[in-house]
Amino acid sequence: MNAKKIRVHVLISGDVQGVFFRHHTRELAKQLGLTGWVRNTEDDKVEAIFEGDKDKIKKILEFCKKGPTLARVNNVKAEEEKFKGEFKDFEIIY
């Protein structure tokens, strides 16, 4: 039985830039077999799109709520979108 594939667009606010947030997010996404991207925004947030199995995305969203050791996450806004399957890998974009 195939797990349901979903796409989630995430915006994370708090002290989340300069604390290896993107690096840790990419590493976990790759471990979970997710595709998409993560980047810093000009207003000091981290933005990401994750595509993959619903249960794996649930795991990365839990990570986003706490972040790596030096991060302080204030808010995570996650919106499910239509799965597109447009990514081959998960990467940090600049």
How many of the other CB atoms lie within 10 Å of CB of 60?
Answer: 24
Express each pLDDT in 26-74 by its tens digit. 999 999 999 999 999 999 999 999 999 999 999 999 999 999 999 999 9
| Greatest alpha-carbon span in the chain | 42
**pTM to 2 decimal places:** 0.95
| 13/41 Cα distance (integer angstroms) | 10
In 3D, which of 19, 32, 31, 34 has the Cα closest to residue 66? 19
Catalytic residue list: 22, 40
Query: Please, are residues 8 and 62 in contact by the beta-carbon 8 Å criterion?
Result: no
Find, among 90, 76, 78, the residue nearest to 34 by Cα.
90
> Which domains occur in the chain, in start order?
5-9+20-87 (3.30.70.100)
